[in-house]
Amino acid sequence: MKNFDLATSPMVAVWETTRADAPYSGAISPDWESRELSATEAEKLIRDVAEMRAPVFVFAGANPLLRPEIYSLVRYACSCGLRPTMVLSDSPVLTRKAILKLKSSGLSRLGLTLQGSNAGLHEELSAAQGSFPRTIQAMRWANECRVPLQMHTELCRSNVGDLENMASLLKSFRMLVWSLSFPVPEEKSRSAEIFTADELERIFERIYDMAQTVPFKVKTVEADHYRRYVTQRRTLFRVEKSGSNAMPFREEGIPGVLPIHEGRGSVFITSTGEVFPNRHISVSGGNIRKEKLKEIYRCSHLFRAFRDTANLKGKCGRCEFKEMCGGSRARAWVLAGDMFAADDSCGYQPALAYKAG
Ligand code: SF4
């Protein structure tokens, strides 16, 4: 992974298979449905991702199982050499039979969402009655069918106090990764939804301590400064152990977690083929109906700019952690209206940084 060239290949390619989500948000309009990528276009997208050798390909979207050809697309992705993942929410179509069919189609990993350790909290945040027992059941089925499991949680003020309880619950399942997403408000006026820099440092401390006690990896999304936090904690540990006060920061990465920040090595392909840097930044580098994905990723002004950390502004621009972190470009986009602005939800001050001796 160390020699992976982000200029030619993304680490992660996520395809929003569909925006349909029956029975919750309901079916999409026939007009929108007719605009979503056809099965043939989806196969072309899969070939493009495989040609770029992206290590992670994710079938995402409101409910991928509502695409009738989804199983054959999983098989097709495998035949092209990809190891596909699928992220699903609970729904009546997420059955044991569906999980078994995904497995026999070659799915490498199943992602499910858990918003709390109990029905009240999970269902309040999911806005779906009965969702908690269905999610737990789907997790059991995944374990029984031996489909590797990855869990997702969108952290917010309501469930952050439940973090350790969720970790205890998850420990009773066999799973690979717990992915914790931090809030990106839909618009600037909702900035109260995000955690302050001080709150985040305390949450990072809890995540780090909890991560030492669970048998799965823990990663953060839209909080890449957790990598900075982990690096600082490990450096502090080495300093204390060695008695030296001149220990440089060393990026060791987080085992089992890809060594990138979202903006630099990801592509998000919408259900109509637009290519965004991630799902929160609805700025398109191009459309796969008109150009090949690799042309958009490698050559578009947008993606080239995203990969270049020289474009980062403010404290993120002069931070020694910017290659491993870079801050949340999505939060900068929503809050500052500038994708390259500093991420103010980070409390680190580069000007006061520890200097290698
Ligand atoms: S200042 Fe920016 S680049 Fe540095 S650790 Fe904080 S968010 Fe990351």
Q: Is the peptide bond before 185 cis (omega within 30 degrees of 0)?
A: no
Alpha carbon distance 269, 23 (integer Å) = 24
Minimum CA distance residue for ligand 1 atom 2: 316
The atom number, within ligand 1, closest to the CA of 327 reads 7
Q: How many CB atoms lie within 10 A of CB 306?
A: 27
Residues with CB under 6 A from ligand 1: 225, 228, 315-316, 319, 321-322, 325-327, 343, 346, 348, 350
C-alpha 211 – ligand 1 centre gap (Å):
22
The residue to mutate among 260, 325, 340, 345, having the most atoms of ligand 1 within 8 angstroms of its beta carbon, is 325
The residue to mutate among 249, 312, 322, having the most atoms of ligand 1 within 8 angstroms of its beta carbon, is 322
Give me the DSSP letters along 245-294: S-PPP-----TTS-S--HHHHEEEE-TTSBEESBTTB---S-BTTTS-HH
C-alpha 228 – ligand 1 centre gap (Å):
7
The atom number, within ligand 1, closest to the CA of 320 reads 4
C-alpha 171 – ligand 1 centre gap (Å):
31
Which 3-state string (H, E, C) describes 303-340?
Answer: HHHHHCHHHCCHHHHCCCCCCCCCCCHHHHHHHHCCCC
Reduced to 3 states (helix: H, G, I; strand: E, B; else coil), residue 351 is helix
> What does the block give as tokens for 246?
């001149």
C-alpha 316 – ligand 1 centre gap (Å):
5
Minimum CA distance residue for ligand 1 atom 7: 327
Ordered per-residue pLDDT tens for the chain, 357 residues: 666 788 999 999 999 999 887 655 555 666 666 789 999 999 999 999 999 999 999 999 999 999 999 999 999 999 999 999 999 988 889 999 999 999 999 999 999 999 999 999 999 999 889 999 999 999 999 999 999 999 999 999 999 999 999 999 999 999 999 999 999 988 887 877 889 999 999 999 999 999 999 999 999 999 989 989 998 888 887 777 776 666 566 555 555 555 555 568 899 999 999 999 999 999 999 999 999 999 999 999 999 999 999 999 999 999 988 988 999 999 999 999 999 999 999 999 986 544 433
